[in-house]
Amino acid sequence: MCINLDADYVLVTFAGYGAFPTDDWIKLLWFVRIAHDAYPEVSETTYYKNNKFGLSEDELSDKTANTLIFKLMYHRFGEIKLARDFPAGFDFSRNVRVDPNKL
């Protein structure tokens, strides 16, 4: 399914570099719920892995990793090591290493 919104720009807030209280990641499931109203075939459960919704290996589904919001927020994030004691791709806002296979 592809929808053309005729947009020239997209603004995405991202808190993964620091421990900010919020960003656009928490909105992803709301985007899915709103889309479900217009397109019933869009199901929130397909964005879960092992009945969880998150960024770690056991929580990040392929469907979630393929969303535009994920791709915009985590573009090349796996190449960035922000602190000596943390691995590359560590999201400080959510205190988790993002699944490196999806970055």
Per-residue confidence (pLDDT) for residue 1, from 0 to 100: 64
> What does the pLDDT look like over 49-99, one tens digit per residue?
999 999 999 999 999 999 989 999 999 999 989 899 999 999 998 899 999
Give the pLDDT confidence score for residue 30 in this predicted structure.
Answer: 93
Question: Are 87 and 45 spatial neighbours (Cβ–Cβ below 8 Å)?
Answer: no
Question: Quick one: pLDDT at residue 20?
Answer: 76
User: Does 103 have pLDDT greater than 90?
Assistant: no
Q: What share of the chain has pLDDT > 90, as a percent? A: 67
Q: What is the pLDDT of residue 6?
A: 87
pLDDT value at 5 more than 90: no
What is the rounded CA–CA span in Å between residue 35 and residue 26?
16
Give the Cα separation of 65 and 83 in Å (integer): 24
**Side chain identity at 7, as an amino acid letter?**
A
